[in-house]
Amino acid sequence: MLRSGAETYRVEDTMARIASSFGFTNSNSYVTPTGIIFQLDKAGSAQLIQIVTRTTDLRKVVAVNSISRQLSTGEISVQEAYTLLHQVDIEAHAFSIWLQIIAASIASGCFTIMFQGKWLDFIPGMICGGLGYCALIYFHHLVRVKFFAELMASFLIGIVSFLLTSAGIGQSLDKIIIGSVMPLVPGLLITNAVRDLMAGHLVSGLSRGAEAFLTAFAIGTGIAVVFIIF
């Protein structure tokens, strides 16, 4: 769940719910965006799990929530729950990379119009958004530094947007850039940061907020470099 973008309080609640269904009412858990510490009971030893990679796959979060509720109500056994959880874990992402790129491209064009761009900017917005998302995936695979991938993706969006408008393909440079970078904006991260803070998870909320700020800073820096060059 944590690797798929779930809030920390939801992860803690799910673990506590499953433990309670088997009579372990005194379980303790401490969850951060990068690790989980869980103790089944006060007499037992605690276990630490490190979270290295994080992505967004809310379908897996919903699936684990459903399994935990079925286990709590006794609808399925422990072995059945373990099998189902293992299947959810090994399943590929809900959407293929090409489908994600197409969706990002269409969303970029729509955002361009939503931010009062002209209809002539729709196609350039789609092109820039799709290329930017391709660059995000490529650079993230090439260098496992999320902020570098986001910076390079926004830089490419700025370059392509400038070239297209200079060639007469598109009119509003600012609207095209704004619409194209929207798929890169960490909306879910910001939402989870606020929800964690509201739930009292200050460490997780602040760390997610800092990650969202750095992502926004990387996007802004990539676009700013383009304007400095041109």
Separation in Å, CA 17 to CA 5, 39, 76, 186: 19, 14, 14, 29
Task: Note the pLDDT of residue 123.
Answer: 95
Confidence check: pLDDT of 44 > 80? no
Task: Note the pLDDT of residue 16.
Answer: 86
Q: What is the DSSP letter of 215?
A: H
**151-157 mean pLDDT:** 95
Q: Residue 75 has which token pair?
A: 């609808």
| Residues 166-224 pLDDT 10s | 998 988 999 999 999 999 998 888 988 898 888 888 888 898 899 899 999 999 999 99
Confidence check: pLDDT of 93 > 90? no
pLDDT band at 42 (very low <50, low <70, confident <90, very high): confident
**90-96 mean pLDDT:** 77
Contact 10, 69 (CB under 8 A): no
Sign of the Cα pseudo-torsion (187, 188, 189, 194, in order): positive
> Using CA atoms, how far apart are residues 47 and 185, in angstroms rounded to an integer?
34
Confidence check: pLDDT of 21 > 90? no
Specify the residue for token string 């009971």: 41
pLDDT band at 53 (very low <50, low <70, confident <90, very high): confident
